[in-house]
Amino acid sequence: MITTDILIIGAGPTGLFAVFEAGLLKLKCHIIDGLPQPGGQLTELYPKKPIFDIPGYPSVLAGDLVDNLMEQIKQFQPGFTLNEKAETIKKLEDGTFIVTTNKGTEHHAKAIAIAGGLGSFEPRKPLIEDIEFYEDKGVEYFVKDPELFRDKKIVIAGGGDSALDWSIFLADVASHVTLIHRRNEFRGALDSVEKVQELKKAGKIQLITPAEVTGIHGAEKVEALDVEIDGAHQRIETDYFIPLFGLTPKLGAIANWGLEIEKNAIKVNNALDYQTNVEGIYAIGDINTYPGKLKLILCGFHEATLMCQSVYNKLNPGKKYVLKYTTVSGVDGFDGTRKEAEKQVVKAIE
C-alpha cells in the first residue's frame, strides 16, 4: 500500500504545482494519472503550442512548461502511479482515505486532491469486432514502452501526430512498421508527414492509404489483420496493432464518489479552500466548478496553493501557520542566512 499525506489524482499542471506548494509545507504527495506520462492536456493535446498567459513567461511551449514543473517538484520527491486510473475511494473512520486504481494499486492518504481536468482520457477505439479480446494481447492504444515492439512486426493506424511520430520512432525499433490511414492526407505536422514519406522511400515504413483495419485474427493473441484498401481486402500478418485515433476525456469513476457534480464538474467551496461536499476531498483545476470559474492554468495554480494551506491547517490543528516567502525561506526551510534575510524583510514591511 502506498501511503502519503496528499494523494493527487491527475498529473496535469494543477496537480504538479500542488506538489510544489505542498512541499513548501512539508506535506508529502503522491500522484495518480491514467496516462503514461505527466502533463495532462499540455502533454497530450498541445505539447508544441506556445502558451502566452503564464505569469513571467511571455511565451512558453506547453511541453516545456510541464518539463519545468517536473524540475520544480523534483526536490520534493513525489511518488507517481502512472498509467492507472483512480477508480474507487473509501473513507476510513479516522477521516483518511484509501483510493484504489483500475489495476488494483492501493493508496492511503490523509487528504485527496482531485486535479483530474476534463476527466481521464480514454482512447478512441476503432469499431472492430472482438477488439476488446485482443487488448493487452497485441492491441495497444498507447506506446508505453517502445521496447515492447523491438524486432516485432507492428501495424499503426491513424492520421494524426501520434500515429506519425510513433511510426517514425518505431521504424528504428520494430522489425517491420506498417502505417495505415483511411485518407491519403494526414492531419499531423508537415515535417512528420515528410519524414514518413522519406522512411517509406527508404523501405523502413510500409504506408497503406486510403485503407482501414476491419478485422483481427489470432487464437491467443493478435496474429493478423484484415485491411480494406480502396474497396479490396488484404490480410497482413503482425505481432501488434496500435490504433492511435486520439483520446476522449471522461469523468469516469470519480462521478460515483458521492461528490456534488454540476455539468460534468465537481462543485467546490471557492470562498475557502476548494473542498468538495466530502470533508478531506478537494477538487482543483479544470475539474471543479464555482461561480466565476475560469478553466485556466494559472487559476489551477492558485487553487492548488489554497488547497495545500487548508490541508496543512487540518493536519496541524492548533499550530499557527505563518506565511513564508520562498525568497526568504527557500524551499527547504530556514537557514542562518535566510533567517537574517527574513528579519530584514520583516523590518522592511514594518
Ligand X SMILES: Cc1cc2nc3c(=O)[nH]c(=O)nc-3n(C[C@H](O)[C@H](O)[C@H](O)COP(=O)(O)OP(=O)(O)OC[C@H]3O[C@@H](n4cnc5c(N)ncnc54)[C@H](O)[C@@H]3O)c2cc1C
266 binds ligand X (CB under 6 A): no
Q: Which three cell numbers stand for residue 104?
A: 488494483
HSE-up of residue 148 (Cα within 13 Å, Cβ side): 15
Q: Which of 5, 33, 161, 212 binds ligand X (CB under 6 A)?
A: 33
310 binds ligand X (CB under 6 A): no
107 binds ligand X (CB under 6 A): no
Judged by DSSP in three states, 237 sits in: strand
Long-range contacts of 290-295 (CB under 8 A, 24+ apart): 293/265
At its nearest, how many Å lie between ligand X and the CB of residue 100?
11
293 binds ligand X (CB under 6 A): no
Phi and psi at residue 201, to the nearest 5°: -60, -35
268-287 positions binding ligand X, by CB under 6 A? 285-286
Binding mask 51-80 for ligand X (x = CB under 6 A): x-x---------------------------
At its nearest, how many Å lie between ligand X and the CB of residue 297?
4
118 binds ligand X (CB under 6 A): yes
- Options 37-45, 131-139, 186-194, 333-341: segment touching ligand X (CB under 6 A): 37-45
Contact in structure between 245 and 183 (CB atoms under 8 Å) = no
| CA 210 to each of CA 117, 155, 185, 230: distance values in angstroms, whole numbers, following the listed order | 35, 15, 9, 6
Q: Choose among 17, 115, 27, 9: nearest CA to 70.
A: 17
138 binds ligand X (CB under 6 A): no
- Residue 23, C-beta contacts closer than 8 angstroms, at least 6 positions apart: 29, 73, 75, 76, 331
Which one, 35 or 112, has the nearer CB to ligand X?
35
- Options 21-29, 111-119, 269-277, 305-313: segment touching ligand X (CB under 6 A): 111-119
What is the binding site for ligand X (CB under 6 A)?
Answer: 9-15, 32-35, 40-42, 45-46, 51, 53, 85-86, 115-121, 252-254, 285-286, 295-298, 300
